[in-house]
Amino acid sequence: MKFIYKYDKLIIISLTVTLGLLLSMTNVLNQLLPEPTIGYQFKVDGEVWFVLESKDEIHRMLQVYKNKYMKNIDENAQVRSIQFEQDIEINEIEVKDEVFVSVKEAEAMINENEDEAVYHTVVPGDSFWMIAKESEVPLAKLIEYNPDMNPERIWPGNKIMFKPADPKLDIIVQFQNTMIEPVEFLTEYIQDNSLYASQRVTTKNGVEGEKRVTYDITMKNGYPTAIEVLNEEVLVEPVTRVVRVGTKRTLTRTSTTNFGVVSGRFTSPFGYRKDPISGLRKFHDGIDIAAPRGTPVYAYTNGKVVTAGWGNMTGNYVVIDHGGGLRSKYYHLSSISVKVGQIVKVGEKIGGVGTTGYSTGNHLHFTITKNGVAVNPLLYL
């Protein structure tokens, strides 16, 4: 028993010595071999795009790339997320020097496009409308793609983008923006047999209200893909206007659905409104009333047709002069049933609701001008 015990001890001692020797040998070997180089592998959807020496440099490039798509967004907007549509990975790896690419090369790869943008070069006689039709891009999209262009003023040689570039790395930006917007007032019409048929007397002025609207907007590569109203809160209630009308009128003008000129749903008020994406102020010189295609549009009141034709932005449109500096305008019509010079009576059909020109759906854009200046049509209906 004693002998065996001694033998065991001997084995333990010799094992310890061997292990120590091995360890010191490895240390010597490690000092002789060059240190492994660390690199950062940039992977997109599992595929290696490049390896760069600096991780910070990759992050900087990605930040610059993301910022490119933030330029047109209102600085007051609350950005919720800026994400790549693709799966991005940055992994630390051990590499040999020759696999590294330069910063310039990496930058070029990040900025590469799957498809380049496509442009139309304007030739004499071209219009935004024609380019939209030929390229099969809705006019509204065409205007969105060329924010620096005035659709009414294009010149031969101008380049109009009708298909944006499709980058290899897609950026999805989601943000919220809160705007203060007007609430249109309603008009109550009261029949009054003490007034003549054509007479109207406003007995109470309408006042626009105010609402706080929060939009939730998703943009892909700089263009909106979804605009949703997240929350709407009326801050100031509008004041209903009261108008007394003569009883012999053939046309009834009551509540919100009958605007006298068309029956439909009020979709956009008159006046200044901030664009929820850019935060820029835009002026809407009339009101929009949505109605199915072909819904009859009636003359606002007696007058003479001064324009019945086509405009790139207005589509088919009619302008009626009512005398006394008052004119009414009807845009985006699907059809026109009056001619220039024609005398029209109040309530006479002049055309049908449509979506021609710069329009995203069937609606009537109705403008009233007093001595050439657009005024709120609601005050005149």
Cα separation, 264 vs 287, in Å, equals 12
Is 142 within 8 Å of 154 (Cβ atoms)? no
Q: Which has the closest alpha carbon to 309: 335, 276, 286? A: 335
Which residue of the chain is nearest Zn ion when measured via CB?
A: 365
339 residue type, one letter: K
CB of 326 to Zn ion, least distance (A): 19
Name the residue among 74, 221, 228 with its Cα closest to residue 161: 221
Position 365 contacts Zn ion (CB under 5 A): yes
For Zn ion, the closer CB: 40 or 331 = 331
Residues 6+ apart with CB under 8 A from 180: 210, 211, 212, 213, 235, 274
Q: Alpha-carbon torsion 260, 262, 265, 266, what sign?
A: negative
Encoded one letter per residue, x for contact with Zn ion by CB under 5 A and - for no contact, window 277-296 reads: -----------x--------
Pairing of β 187-192 and β 241-246: parallel
The piece of 119-127, 163-171, 223-231, 357-365 that touches Zn ion (CB under 5 A) is 357-365
Q: Which long-range contacts (CB under 8 A, 24 or more apart) does 28-32 make?
A: none
Q: Does 184 bind Zn ion (CB under 5 A)?
A: no
Which pair of tokens denotes residue 379? 């005050």
Least distance in angstroms from the C-beta of 268 to Zn ion: 6
Q: Please report how close the Cβ of residue 286 comes to Zn ion at its closest, in angstroms.
A: 5
Shortest CB 132 distance to Zn ion, Å: 18
Comparison of 50 and 358: residue with beta carbon closer to Zn ion: 358
Specify the residue, 167 or 377, whose C-beta has the smaller distance to Zn ion: 377
Interface region with Zn ion, contact rule CB under 5 A, candidates 142-150, 182-190, 217-225, 360-368: 360-368
- Using CB under 5 A as the binding criterion, the count of chain residues that bind Zn ion stands at 2
Among 236, 186, 184, 185, smallest CA distance to 210 is for 236
Stretch that binds Zn ion, among 13-21, 52-60, 220-228, 362-370 (CB under 5 A): 362-370
> What is the phi/psi pair of residue 174, to 5°?
-120, 125
Span near Zn ion by CB under 5 A; candidates 142-150, 223-231, 296-304, 363-371: 363-371
Least separation in angstroms between residue 263's CB and Zn ion is 17
List the x/- string, 309-348, binding to Zn ion by CB under 5 A: ----------------------------------------
Q: Measured from the CB atom, is 322 or 365 closer to Zn ion?
A: 365
Q: How far apart are CA 298 and CA 316, in angstroms?
A: 15
| Pick from 121, 120, 114, 131: nearest CA to 165 | 114
CB closer to Zn ion out of 42 and 129: 129
The residue among 20 and 361 lying less far from Zn ion, judged by its C-beta, is 361
Could you tell me the smallest distance in angstroms from the CB atom of residue 374 to Zn ion? 11
How many angstroms separate the CA atoms of 122 and 134, rounded?
Answer: 12
Q: In angstroms, give the least distance from the CB of 331 to Zn ion.
A: 7
CA angle 63, 65, 67 (to 5 degrees): 70
- Which residue, 132 or 219, is less far from Zn ion as judged by CB? 132
> How many Cα atoms sit within 13 Å of 296 on the Cβ side?
10
Cα–Cα distance measured from residue 74 to residue 61, given in angstroms and rounded to the nearest whole number: 23
Based on CB atoms, which residue is closest to Zn ion, 158 or 267? 267
Query: Between residues 100 and 288, which has the closer beta carbon with respect to Zn ion?
Result: 288
**Binding interface with Zn ion (CB under 5 A):** 288, 365
